[in-house]
Amino acid sequence: MRVRGSGTDGGVRAASGTRGAALALLLLLIAALSGLGTGVLTLARRQALAARTTESVLQARLAAESGLLGLVGGWPAGADSLPVGGQVAGPSHALGQLGASTTTIRRLSSELFLVHSEGRRTPGPATSRVAAAVWVLAPTSRLAAHGAVVVSGAGLTVEKGGRVDGTDTHTVPSGWDPGQCAPLWQVVDSLFPTGEMAAFATLPSGKSSSPWRADGTLRPFEALTPGQAPGLGMIPLDTLANVAAPIGPSMEPSESSCDTPLDVSGLACGRAPGIWGGSGQLEVSGGAASGVLAVDGDLLLRGDARFDGWILASGDVELQDDVRVEGVIGAGRSVRVEDRAVVVASPCAALAVLRSVWLRNPRKMPDFSHLGPLSES
Amino acid sequence: MAEALITLILLTIMLQAAWSVTARHTRGAMQLVRRSEMLEAVRISGWVLREELKVSRPGTDWLAHDDSITLRAFRGLAVPCPGASAPGLLVADWDGIREPDPAKDSLLLLEPAGRWRAHGLSRVARVPPCPGGGPTLRLELDDPEAGGYLARVFERGTYHVADAALRYRRGLGGRQPLTPRTLGDESGLEAAGAGAVVVHLRPNGQAGETEAWAASLRLWGQEPR
């Protein structure tokens, strides 16, 4: 009995010990699996959080980019009256659930602006800032940078009765309404206080010129492209030539030019300025037009052709017979004026034709359309 | 005796199972950590390189090599206060992620002719803010004639994929890891033309893991002029 009793007691103790080990092991297993599950959940939560943060920042960045593009695409008219160094709030854009943006414009020079856009995700604290340098053509600055009636890279030849005349900066192109020029005389006088304009200047190389003027102030932002064809600041000549309306053997603007946004009020319909030109060897032997005549190549004007405004060519410009140009000329190579051809300085014509809508659209600087990184707001 | 034997067998089976579960748990936990680090490496690599390259011009500000990208790493923008600058000296509003340091930074200056030209920095000091401006710095340039409308401060640096991590080396300094050391030998950088670079990220580990977690990021710089 004692043996059985002892055996029974021992069996109970052994079974009891086994159940205890299993419980402990089970608890360990549960703890381990719980730890693993918690790890997975933690990782998933962290990744989701990181993804949400990235999404928020990207949305804020997109809102900022959108604000910047909106500002450049819809340049506020008030920005042109901003003094150099001045800053003004630009338009704000709401993008619904995607966010919103606010913009600021700071004028760095007559044609150069620094624009900021701050985008934010709504709702949420994420913000992002972007900035860009923007160039806007200012006719006065363009004329000041041009500086002479004829600017070329390889000289000016005047012979056989040809003439380049810069002695009267108040010339009103024949056929123009004098009232069109009247508001410009003050600007013209500030640019050419002697009442005269230099007949010729060499295309600036820009290689050795100091950024500073003699009076210790920074030179205006001229956006020259040394060694290349004369353009209109940041608008290169080949771009102008590409968008130019073709001009035939005779310069007669088409009827449709009266309806283009390039029109300047006050001018007769048939004389509305446009952008004319093309590429290669262009020869025109008569007719009349005004605006910008841009040729990516050589230009020959003959007969009684008449042009008011800017003539820009990457190659040679040759004027023959009774050609009359009132405005300014820029050529990458030489300019030849012969026979009875005349080039008369007309700052009024040069300024007026640059007041076209297309040319006044702002352009992001080709280098670094985005400036950064910027500090967090 | 039979009860004891059965108990022993059951105990052995349970121990085996526990050991197996523990080993799998350990492997799972390690995979979890590696997965987490790999995701982190991909995210950091993409973000850092994208932020660096998007404000730079390929060919001018950065060059992609077989295993690295050498670049001007821009750190901020200085906008000269009107009338406060002089030849060789900029007094400018500062907007950037850290202040310029003459020991390691240079700057690109937008000149009146429309060019960006690089200059060295000889001294930097904080000065009272320009009217209406924010933090203002006085930046002395190594060229006494320099002047311009905007300045972009940069340091020279190189991004490598080396020693199992994306690393950044400033100037001639050491390579500092930016990501966890989870990248395998097949990771690297590759010039893809047209101002693009492809970053291949392949984790260390078994083949299945490598394929499942690998990532290739195509990044672009700004359009060259």
Pairwise CB contact (< 8 Å): A373 & B146: no
Q: Which of A35, A43, A85 sits opposite B82 (nearest CB)?
A: A85
Q: Do the beta carbons of residue A149 and residue A169 sit within 8 Å? A: no
Specify the range with the lowest mean pLDDT, choosing from A116-130, B40-54, B202-216. B202-216
Residues of B within 8 A of A373 (CB-CB) are 51, 55, 74-76, 96-97
At position B216, the amino acid (one-letter code) is S
Pairwise CB contact (< 8 Å): B75 & A373: yes
Q: Which of A28, A216, A220 sits opposite B86 (nearest CB)?
A: A216
pTM of the model: 0.82
Pairwise CB contact (< 8 Å): B95 & A374: yes
Which of A19, A52, A212 has the most B C-beta neighbours within 10 Å, making it the best mutation to test the interface with B? A212
Does B87 contact A at CB distance below 8 Å? yes
Work out the minimum CA distance from B95 to partner chain A, whole angstroms. 5
- Listed in sequence order, the residues at least 6 apart from B196 whose beta carbon sits closer than 8 Å to its beta carbon are B58, B218, B219, B220, B221
Work out the minimum CA distance from B222 to partner chain A, whole angstroms. 7
Provide the pLDDT for residue A169. Answer: 93
Hey, what's the torsion of the CAs at A241, A244, A245, A248, to 10 degrees? -30
Provide the pLDDT for residue A324. Answer: 93
Does B220 contact A at CB distance below 8 Å? no
- CA-CA distance, B68 to B159, in Å (whole number)? 5
Cβ atoms within 10 Å, residue A141: 21
User: Around A293, how many Cα atoms within 13 Å sit in the side-chain half-sphere?
Assistant: 32
Tokens representing A131 are: 């900035």
Provide the pLDDT for residue B198. Answer: 87
Q: Any idea which residue has 């005047």 for tokens? A: A158
Pairwise CB contact (< 8 Å): B113 & A114: no
Q: How far is CA A198 from the centre of its chain?
A: 30
Pairwise CB contact (< 8 Å): B79 & A225: no
Cα first-last separation, chain A: 90
Q: Any idea which residue has 């943006």 for tokens? A: A101
Going by DSSP bridges, is the β-strand pair A100-107/A93-94 parallel, antiparallel, or unpaired?
Answer: antiparallel
Residues of B within 8 A of A85 (CB-CB) are 81-83
Taking one residue from A and the other from B, the number of pairs with CB-CB distance under 8 angstroms is: 142
Hey, what's the torsion of the CAs at A244, A248, A254, A257, to 10 degrees? 20
Average pLDDT over residues B84-103: 93
Largest CA distance in chain A: 149
- CA-CA distance, A41 to B56, in Å (whole number)? 39
Crossing angle of helices B2-53 and A2-73, in 10° steps, is 10
Q: Which residue has the higher pLDDT, A118 or B68?
A: A118
Provide the pLDDT for residue A271. Answer: 53
Provide the pLDDT for residue A218. Answer: 86
CA of A235: which chain B residue's CA is closest? Answer: B114
Local confidence band at B174 (pLDDT 50, 70, 90 cut-offs): confident
Q: Which of A40, A222, A366 sits opposite B32 (nearest CB)?
A: A40
Q: Do the beta carbons of residue A316 and residue A299 sit within 8 Å? A: yes
Work out the minimum CA distance from A331 to partner chain B, whole angstroms. 18
- CA-CA distance, A3 to A198, in Å (whole number)? 133
CA of A208: which chain B residue's CA is closest? Answer: B113
A274: three-class secondary structure by DSSP: strand
Got the DSSP string for A339-369?
A: TT-EEEE-HHHHHHHT--TGGGS-EE-SS-S
Of A16, A344, A18, A334, whose CA–CA distance to A176 is shortest?
A: A344
Provide the pLDDT for residue A226. Answer: 53
- pLDDT of B66 strictly over 80: no
Q: Which of residues 190-209 of B touch A (CB under 8 A)?
A: none
Q: ipTM of this predicted complex?
A: 0.82
pLDDT tens by residue, B117-140? 999 999 999 999 988 778 899 999
CA of B22: which chain A residue's CA is closest? Answer: A32
Phi, psi of A84 (to 5 degrees): -60, 130
Reply yes or no: is the peptide bond before residue A373 cis, omega within 30 of 0: yes
Cβ atoms within 10 Å, residue A227: 12
Provide the pLDDT for residue B190. Answer: 83
Q: pLDDT tens digits, chain A, 377 residues: what are they?
A: 444 444 444 444 545 555 567 787 778 778 878 887 888 888 888 888 888 888 888 899 899 999 999 998 888 988 888 998 889 999 998 888 778 999 999 999 989 999 999 999 877 788 999 999 999 988 998 898 888 999 998 899 999 889 999 999 998 988 888 888 898 999 999 999 999 999 999 887 655 578 888 888 888 887 765 556 788 888 888 888 888 888 777 776 544 444 433 333 334 444 567 888 888 999 998 888 888 999 999 999 999 888 999 999 999 999 999 999 999 999 999 999 999 999 999 999 999 888 765 677 788 877 777 887 888 76
Which of A367, A374, A376 has the most B C-beta neighbours within 10 Å, making it the best mutation to test the interface with B? A367
Which of A128, A221, A364 has the most B C-beta neighbours within 10 Å, making it the best mutation to test the interface with B? A221
Q: Do the beta carbons of residue A118 and residue A377 sit within 8 Å? A: yes
Per the prediction, chain B carries an average pLDDT of 86
Residues of A within 8 A of B112 (CB-CB) are 109, 211, 218-222
Phi, psi of B57 (to 5 degrees): -105, 125
Q: Do the beta carbons of residue A252 and residue A287 sit within 8 Å? A: yes
Reply yes or no: is the peptide bond before residue A123 cis, omega within 30 of 0: yes
Residues of B within 8 A of A145 (CB-CB) are none
Average pLDDT over residues B170-188: 85
